[in-house]
């Protein structure tokens, strides 16, 4: 009986600590320009099963890392915040909560909103 519990504990621990591998990874040139954020650098877009990770690099160092979920956004410099709060702070309060998530699910990422001063473009580096 003790062996069963020990084995189950090991399996749960092993599965819980397993690293997540992305469904799709692509390097890209990322333009992310809003009234409060401005980035135009190379980076990576990693698409996982339930979120998208955007990592923008400058001279080999990460300058922006976002984990974009349908209902929240996590950044390396702050805890996860609801998507509505992220939109209000960095994009526009008029955008739907899942706006950024749905934008990064697209193959060609391009969004220009002159009224709000927002421009987001991701050019994937295809081989």
Residue 121 to residue 40: CA distance in whole angstroms: 9
Q: What three-state secondary structure class fits 109?
A: strand
| 56 occurs within a structural domain | yes
Please give the helix or strand (H or E) that residue 110 lies within, else none: strand 109-113
The residue length of the chain stands at 127
Whether pTM > 0.85 for this model: the answer is: no
| 61 occurs within a structural domain | yes
| 16 occurs within a structural domain | no
Asked whether residue 13 carries a pLDDT value surpassing 60, the answer given is no
Instruction: Write down the pLDDT at residue 2.
Output: 53
Instruction: Write down the pLDDT at residue 66.
Output: 92
User: Range of 102's domain?
Assistant: 21-124
Asked whether residue 118 carries a pLDDT value surpassing 80, the answer given is yes
Domain total of the chain = 1
Round the CA-based radius of gyration of the chain to a whole number and report it.
18
pLDDT band per the 50, 70, 90 thresholds, residue 72: very high
pLDDT tens per residue, range 41-70: 999 999 999 999 999 998 888 888 999 999
């Amino acid at each position: 009986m003790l062996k069963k519990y020990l084995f189950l504990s090991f399996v749960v621990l092993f599965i819980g600590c397993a690293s997540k591998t992305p469904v799709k990874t692509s390097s890209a040139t990322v333009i992310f320009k809003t009234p409060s954020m401005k980035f135009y650098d190379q980076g990576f877009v990693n698409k996982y099963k339930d979120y998208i990770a955007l990592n923008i690099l400058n001279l080999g160092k990460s300058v922006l890392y976002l984990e974009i979920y349908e209902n929240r956004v996590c950044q390396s410099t702050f805890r996860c915040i609801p998507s509505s709060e992220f939109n209000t702070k960095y994009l526009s309060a008029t955008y739907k909560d899942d706006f950024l998530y749905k934008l990064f699910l697209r193959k060609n990422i391009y969004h220009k909103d002159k009224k709000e001063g927002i421009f987001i473009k991701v050019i994937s580096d295809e081989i």
